[in-house]
C-alpha cells in the first residue's frame, strides 16, 4: 500500500518543520506550501490524500483556500488554527474542512487527527449505497428508518433520527452547529441552536444510557462528531 501523501500548508517555518518531521517519522509522504496560491496549485497537481491547512496565510485567508479546493475536489482538509481564530475555524468547517487542530497541538494529537480522517475515508470507500450503517452496537436501518442498539430498537423522535443520520453519514468528522441546524431546520437562528442542544442531549441519553460507550463527542462552541468505534 502507498504511504499517504500529505500536503502541509503553513507559513510558519517552525510549525511546518514540526509537522513534516512528525510525518516523516510516521511513514507519511509529504509536500509543503507556504502560501495559499501555491497550496491550491500543489493540491491540483499532486492530488494529496489529506491537506493540513493553516488558516492564517500571508496571501489569502485559509477559508478561501478551502472554497477554491472544494470547487473541484472533496479531498480531506484538516485546518490548523490559533485559539484566537475560533470563528475562522467554524467558517472553515462550514466551508467544507473535515476536521481541525488548535495551535499549540501535540504530535500525538496531529497523528490522531490524521488517523481519524484516514478511517473516515476508508469507511466512505466501503459504503457504496449501503442500506444500513453499523458502528459498535449501533445499527441504523435506513430503509426502515429505525436505529437499534444491540438489536433493540431505540425510540427516537424524527429530529433525533435525522441528527443521528447526519452524524453517521460523516462519522469521524466534526459537524458545526450551523451545518446541523441548516440541514434540519433550514436556518441557523439562536433559537435553532438552543433546540439543537436539547435534541442532541436527548439523543445522547438514548444512545449512551447504561453504558460507558461514547458515540457522540461535543466540540464546545463548534459542533458535534460521531466517533468511529
CB of 157 to Ca ion, least distance (A): 43
Among 11, 61, 64, 86, contact with Ca ion (rule: CB under 5 A): 11
Cα–Cα dist 136/158, whole Å: 22
* Ordered alpha helix ranges (H), 47-105: 62-70, 86-95
Q: Which is nearer to Ca ion, 92 or 203 (CB)?
A: 92
Greatest Cα pair distance in the chain: 54
Pattern 42-81, binding to Ca ion, x per CB under 5 A? ------------x-x-------------------------
Residue 160 near Ca ion by CB under 5 A = no
CB of 183 to Ca ion, least distance (A): 31
CB of 185 to Ca ion, least distance (A): 35
Closest CA relative to residue 226, chosen from 147, 151, 153: 147
Cα–Cα dist 192/174, whole Å: 18
DSSP 227: P
Q: Which is nearer to Ca ion, 4 or 56 (CB)?
A: 56
In the chain, the DSSP E strands lie at 5-9, 29-33, 50-54, 77-82, 99-103, 132-135, 138-141, 146-149, 152-154, 174-176, 216-219, 223-226
Q: Which is nearer to Ca ion, 11 or 170 (CB)?
A: 11
C-alpha cell, 151: 438489536
Q: Which is nearer to Ca ion, 65 or 200 (CB)?
A: 65
CB of 101 to Ca ion, least distance (A): 13
CB of 95 to Ca ion, least distance (A): 17
Binding footprint of Ca ion on the chain (CB under 5 A): 11, 54, 56
Amino acid at each position: 500500500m502507498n504511504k499517504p501523501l500529505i500536503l502541509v500548508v503553513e507559513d510558519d517555518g517552525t510549525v511546518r518543520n514540526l509537522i513534516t518531521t512528525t510525518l516523516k517519522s510516521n511513514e507519511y509522504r509529504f509536500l509543503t506550501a507556504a502560501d495559499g496560491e501555491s497550496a491550491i496549485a500543489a493540491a491540483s497537481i499532486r492530488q494529496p490524500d489529506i491537506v493540513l491547512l493553516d488558516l492564517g496565510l500571508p496571501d489569502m485567508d485559509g477559508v478561501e483556500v478551502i472554497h477554491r479546493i472544494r470547487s473541484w475536489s472533496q479531498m480531506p482538509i484538516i485546518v490548523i488554527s490559533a485559539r484566537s481564530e475560533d470563528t475562522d475555524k467554524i467558517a472553515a468547517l462550514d466551508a467544507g474542512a473535515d476536521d481541525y487542530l488548535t495551535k499549540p497541538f501535540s504530535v500525538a494529537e496531529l497523528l490522531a487527527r490524521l488517523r481519524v480522517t484516514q478511517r473516515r475515508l476508508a469507511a466512505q470507500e466501503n459504503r457504496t449505497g449501503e442500506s444500513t450503517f453499523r458502528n459498535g452496537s449501533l445499527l441504523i436501518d435506513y430503509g426502515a428508518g429505525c436505529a437499534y442498539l444491540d438489536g433493540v430498537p431505540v425510540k427516537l423522535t424524527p429530529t433525533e433520527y435525522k441528527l443521528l443520520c447526519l452524524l453517521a453519514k460523516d462519522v469521524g468528522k466534526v459537524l458545526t452547529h450551523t451545518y446541523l441546524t441548516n440541514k434540519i431546520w433550514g436556518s441557523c437562528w439562536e433559537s435553532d441552536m438552543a433546540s439543537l442542544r436539547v435534541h442532541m442531549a436527548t439523543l445522547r441519553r438514548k444512545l449512551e444510557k447504561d453504558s460507558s460507550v461514547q458515540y457522540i463527542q461535543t466540540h464546545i462552541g463548534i459542533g458535534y462528531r460521531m466517533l468511529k468505534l
